[in-house]
Amino acid sequence: MNKQELVAAMADKSGLSKVDSEKFVKAFEEATKEALGNGESIQLIGFGTFSVTERSARTGRNPQTGKEIQIAAKKVVKFKAGKALDETVN
C-alpha cells in the first residue's frame, strides 16, 4: 500500500474526505519525525512503538571486492509491533 492508497483507505474507514485524510497523514509524519528526531519514543497502545536506537560502529565487507570496510555508528528507527497488531498479522 502506498501513501495515496493509505489516504483513500483512511477516508473510507473514517468518513472524512481524502483531503482531510491526507492532512492527517502529513501531520502524523511530521509529528513522528519531530519526536523521533528529539530522541523520544512514540507508543500507540495495541498498534506498536516507534523508538530510536544507537547502532554501534562495526567492520563490514564490500561484497564486490571482499575488502573490509568500517561502517560508522548511527541512530536508527525501530518499530516493535503491539500485541493487537501482532495477533492480527499472525
Closest CA to 52 of 75, 82, 81: 75
73 three-class SS: coil
55 three-class SS: strand
Each of the 90 residues of the chain gets a pLDDT tens digit; together they read 999 999 999 999 999 999 999 999 999 999 999 999 999 999 999 899 999 999 999 999 999 999 999 999 999 999 999 999 999 998
Domain boundaries, the chain: 1-40, 42-90
Distance CA 61, CA 71 (A): 9
pLDDT at 23: 96
pLDDT at 88: 92
pLDDT at 16: 93
pLDDT at 60: 95
* CATH topology classification for 42-90: HU Protein; Chain A (4.10.520)
